[in-house]
Amino acid sequence: MRGRPVKPRMMTREPEIRQFSPRGRRGRPGYINLKYEGYEAIRLYDYMELDQKEASSRMRVSQQTFSRILRKARKDLAKALINGDIIKISGGNFRISK
């Protein structure tokens, strides 16, 4: 194994909805997998409007790691919206904080 082990990201709770499907697209759409930590980064930064310092603190990761998680999640969502893909929220390395 190379490099440092990945620390689990902290989440306040799991999302209630774990899949979004497009309407109006013929045939079988593809899908993207949005990891739980990407969902949490978008929730904290874009939805709750926390700054990156506060959001990264809540997830217990560095600001640089938070920025990387957020950038990947936004890119995945953009691909799904442009291509009409299903968005599945699953996977990743996380723990629910108490």
CA torsion, ordered 38, 42, 48, 52, to nearest 10 deg:
80
The structural architecture, per CATH, of the domain 30-92 is: Orthogonal Bundle (1.10)
For residue 64, the model assigns a pLDDT of 95
Beta strands in the chain (DSSP E): 9-11, 19-20, 31-34, 86-89, 94-96
pLDDT at residue 89 in the model: 94
Q: Distance of alpha carbon 83 from its chain centroid, rounded?
A: 18
Domain map (residue ranges) of the chain: 30-92
Q: Tell me, what's the pLDDT at 1?
A: 62
Question: What's the confidence (pLDDT) of residue 63?
Answer: 95
Low-confidence ranges of the chain (pLDDT < 50): none
Taking the C-alpha atoms of 72, 6, 39 and 82 in order, what is their torsion angle to the nearest 10 degrees? 20
Nearest Cα residue to 21 out of 8, 7, 32, 5: 32
Q: Which helix (H) or strand (E) holds 25?
A: none
